[in-house]
């Protein structure tokens, strides 16, 4: 078995996740144009882009099941290898429709990496330390997503395929590093996996994931459209994503400390309601400079609460169900994101404020419902906390 301390593993996973998310978003500003040059129609391009998320929704729980059964390390290594090889296909002289398969493989691989890396953190760190550890992975994801498009600006449509090829090579190197990293796997157990246990922290975390995914789906589809409707420049639109990402990255460790030392149940509820309130506010702000700073203010609440939400997911879990829990959490987030992305585009054509307002209401209701799911759950985790064995 590979030998590395939990802290070393966390450092390696942080870098790997950062690289993977940066590579995944590197060419997004030009991907539609790249596919158009390969003969893709708007409908084909939309399907190719959506196939990335569809693959994640379909495979994340299944891959989590495999990680619980056979170990996280083979899943992480295989996901990095398949992601790297799929990225290299962008350099091939293929027509647009063939890249549907590329995006499917990339989506499934990225989902597998997310599930296995997050469950590895839960396996290696005690419940009273998971908030701080998880915050590192969350910050790496957002930092990668913020840096990727900025780095990709230097690329042109003509050389974008080779940029993706380079990210594929980096992914293969990361697979070698992951192969020599301890990710909390135990000796292989041939016995069947026990059924997934549903306790209150887990159920509430899935509801919270849906609320978060709905909001992100609106931003994915409508944020740039909203700023454009308010006559924002291209620079302002790009800066808006960066100004959201930076406070999150800077304060993520503080959010991790809060999850480990304060009441994570109350912190999670605050974060969900905070996000819904900002979501409903944006359509009514017509000053784009103000929009930039309001987005940063929203990021503060997200950074301070996100580790608490994710930490509730693994609270009281057995070691051989951590990946399945993470798989369902990722599926809940990605599925609601995809649903909101599809619906909000249509709603935006009716009224620019409608998708923001409607999803803010639904997200608020889901947030309030966590009071029911998390009733009786102790939001504070002590150093002596043990896994919860109760079924409810």
Mean of the per-residue pLDDT values of the chain? 88
pLDDT at 388: 42
Mean pLDDT, range 358-374, rounded to an integer: 96
For the segment 26-37, the average pLDDT, to the nearest whole number, is 75
Which of 55-59, 69-73, 272-276 is the least confident region?
Answer: 55-59
Question: Span 249-275, mean pLDDT?
Answer: 94
Does the pLDDT value for residue 156 go beyond 80? Answer: no
CB atoms within 10 A of CB 186: 10
Band of residue 316 on the pLDDT scale cut at 50, 70, 90: confident
Report the pLDDT averaged over residues 348-353: 92
Q: Say how far apart CA 331 and CA 279 lie, in whole Å.
A: 22
Is pLDDT of 82 > 90? yes
Mean pLDDT of 270-285: 96
Identify the weakest region by mean pLDDT among 83-87, 107-111, 330-334, 377-381.
377-381
DSSP letter string over 301-369? HHHHHHHHHHHHHHTT--GGGHHHHHHHHHHHHHHHHHHHHHHHHHHHHH-TTHHHHHHHHHHHHHHHH
Confidence at residue 273, expressed as pLDDT on a 0 to 100 scale: 97
What pLDDT is recorded for position 355?
93
Reported as a pLDDT band with limits 50, 70 and 90, residue 245 is confident
Q: Does 238 or 284 have the greater pLDDT score?
A: 284
HSE (side-chain half, CA atoms, 13 Å) at 205:
28
Mean pLDDT, to the nearest integer, of 360-374?
Answer: 96
Name the token pair of 241.
């994503």
207-236 pLDDT tens trace: 999 999 999 989 888 888 888 888 888 778
Residue 229 C-alpha from the chain's centroid: 28
Under 8 Å between Cβ of 13 and 121: yes
Q: What is the mean pLDDT of residues 102-119?
A: 93
pLDDT score at 1: 61
pLDDT at residue 300 tops 80: yes
Task: Label residue 382 by pLDDT band (50, 70, 90).
Answer: low
What was the pLDDT predicted at 232?
Answer: 86
Helix, strand, coil distribution of the chain in percent, nearest 5: 80, 0, 20
- Give the per-residue pLDDT at 368: 97
> What does pTM read for this prediction?
0.86
**Domains in the chain with CATH codes:** 6-179 (1.20.1250.20), 200-373 (1.20.1250.20)
User: What are the structure tokens assigned to 182, written together?
Assistant: 């301890």
**How much is the pLDDT for 28?**
66
Residue 144 has pLDDT above 90, yes or no: no
Give the pLDDT mean for 197-205. 93
Task: With CA atoms as reference, report the closest residue to 311 among 251, 244, 377, 241.
Answer: 377
* Average pLDDT rounded to a whole number, residues 163-185: 91
Quick one: average pLDDT of 187-214?
91
Nearest to 309 by CA among 365, 379, 388, 254: 379
């Amino acid at each position: 078995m590979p030998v590395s301390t939990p802290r070393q593993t966390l450092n390696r996973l942080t870098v790997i996740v950062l690289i993977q998310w940066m590579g995944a978003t590197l060419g997004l500003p030009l991907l539609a144009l790249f596919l158009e040059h390969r003969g893709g129609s708007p409908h084909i391009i939309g399907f190719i882009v959506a196939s990335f998320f569809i693959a994640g929704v379909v495979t994340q729980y299944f891959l989590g099941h495999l990680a619980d059964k056979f170990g996280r390390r083979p899943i992480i290594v295989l996901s990095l290898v398949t992601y790297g090889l799929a990225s290299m296909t962008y350099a091939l002289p293929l027509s647009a429709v063939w890249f549907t398969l590329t995006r499917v493989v990339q989506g499934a691989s990225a989902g597998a990496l997310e599930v296995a890396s997050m469950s590895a953190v839960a396996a290696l760190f005690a419940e009273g330390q998971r908030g701080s550890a998880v915050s590192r992975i969350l910050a790496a994801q957002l930092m990668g997503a913020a840096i990727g498009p900025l780095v990709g600006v230097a690329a042109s449509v003509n050389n974008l395929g080779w940029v993706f090829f380079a990210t594929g090579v980096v992914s293969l190197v990361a697979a070698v590093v992951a192969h020599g990293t301890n990710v909390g796997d135990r000796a292989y157990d041939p016995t069947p996996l026990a059924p997934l246990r549903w306790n209150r922290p887990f159920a509430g975390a899935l509801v919270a994931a849906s609320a978060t995914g709905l909001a992100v789906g609106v931003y994915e589809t409508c944020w740039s459209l909203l700023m454009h409707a308010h006559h924002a420049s291209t620079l302002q639109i790009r800066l808006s994503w960066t100004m959201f990402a930076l406070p999150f990255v800077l304060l993520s460790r503080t959010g991790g400390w809060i999850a480990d030392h304060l009441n994570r149940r109350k912190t999670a509820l605050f974060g969900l309601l905070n996000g819904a309130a900002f979501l409903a506010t944006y359509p009514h702000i017509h000053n784009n400079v103000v929009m930039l700073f309001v987005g940063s203010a929203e990021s503060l609440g997200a950074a301070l609460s996100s580790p608490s939400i994710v930490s509730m997911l693994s609270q009281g879990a057995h070691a051989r169900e951590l990946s399945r829990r993470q798989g369902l959490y990722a599926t809940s987030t990605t599925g609601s994101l995809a649903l909101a992305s599809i619906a909000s585009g249509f709603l935006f054509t009716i009224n620019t404020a409608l998708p923001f307002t409607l999803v803010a209401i639904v997200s608020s209701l889901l947030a309030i419902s966590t009071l029911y799911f998390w009733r009786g759950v102790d939001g504070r985790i002590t150093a002596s906390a043990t896994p919860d064995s109760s079924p409810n």
